[in-house]
Structure 1
Amino acid sequence: MQDFLLRDDLFDTVIFDLDNTLVDFINAKRQACNAVIESLGCGDSADLFSYFLRMRHGFEDYGNIFDYLSDIGVNGSASYLRSCTIYEDVKLQTIQPYEGVGETLSALRSDGLRLGVVTDADSDHAEKRLKKANLSKFFEVVITPDMSGRRKPNPDSFLMALDSLRTDPFHTICVGDSIRRDIEPAKRLGMCTIHAAYGDWHPEETKESSVRTLRIHHPEDLIRLVLGKKD
């Protein structure tokens, strides 16, 4: 993290991304894919995970599981439904906040900052993940694409969050793992941005982007960066 402190009197709000910023979502998805393959007794979990990366159906769509089962010759609705159930159950059970996230959010709230979430997970998934990670209590608003009508990097979810929190972008900090989907749109709106590098699993986006942003390598770095305090 840069040896740099924000002027905390300038900011009253922090907006967070959810997956891979607050909780380790990619690990949960990989564990869920492992569980599906173990149940099937055939296939490869890395191959199944790769089907979610094609973006043919969307990153969380069960259509990816259907396509994978079809391609490896596993047919029948029973196998498909069982695989979807195992995938969803294990994914949620495995969701964990990154170390230090709870302490960091508590410190920010205690200092009077208002906190919100802008995520591309739908409302049901977002609510369940925050509850599983014991983080729901920290946030005043959670904005999802089924609420705003658009997914990031479209700015609509950010604008809805700002409106709901009754603040403006110039007094808001945005923290997210994705340069393209979190940092760039927030920056265009005029927010101060902080890249959660510890959760960034698209390093090629970081290398290709010319956007200037602060960067943290542990969630607790926010305590010093935003509040000027040691964690």
Structure 2
Amino acid sequence: MLSILTLLFSLFLFASPSSSSRQHQTPPLTSSAQIRLACNATRYPDLCVSSLSKPGRVPPSPNPSQIIHSAISVSLENLKTAQTKVKSILDASVGNLNRTNAAKTCLQLLSYSEHRTNSTDQALTRGKNKDARAWMSAALVYQYDSWSALKYVNGTKEVAETMSFLNGLINVTSNALSMMTLYYGESKNTGPGSDRSKRVSWSSVIPDEHVDMYSVANFIQGDEWKMSG
């Protein structure tokens, strides 16, 4: 009887997870946590999180590249809304030459921005990150210029509301650009420079299970390359 109890007790110990194994079973980051991690690199992190957290905005367990594509999509979506608002101003400006010209200029600039934003998305898909940053920077400049085009004809509620929306568009686009140009994450740093107390507030520690997400292959679609020769 004693030997049977000893055997059962031994089996229980063998089957029970050790404390060390439980400590290493870190749960994966949720999509919302990954979005927050990426948005920490932006100028307007709260706006970034709210715009990317809507259902269906990013895929489940997104990698950094997918989050950036989603941020660009948000910018493009808002840009199209801005175009609709400016067209409404143009339609309501019959007889007002200054506002008509301003609205036409604004629409032209927004069309340039739309083209540059689409070029950004295409460049990222091809792994041309430098080109993507250049296109998105240009898109942002055109958006600011479109806001400026309405500044001197801001005499109606509709124009004021549209300018406010354009300002939000500029912030959203700025966030997307920030993701492409600035992200400070670290993993297992050691030595004199590893003291995190002196880090900037938007720096992040990348969890071990997500380090591979930040590999070069993830950003340039390395697994899709074809070997020559």
Q: TM-score range by the shorter chain?
A: under 0.3
What is the TM-score when the length of structure 1 is the normalising length? 0.23
Q: Which has the higher strand share?
A: 1
With the length of structure 2 as denominator, give the TM-score of the two structures. 0.23
Query: Hey, which of these two has a bigger chunk of helix by percent?
Result: 2
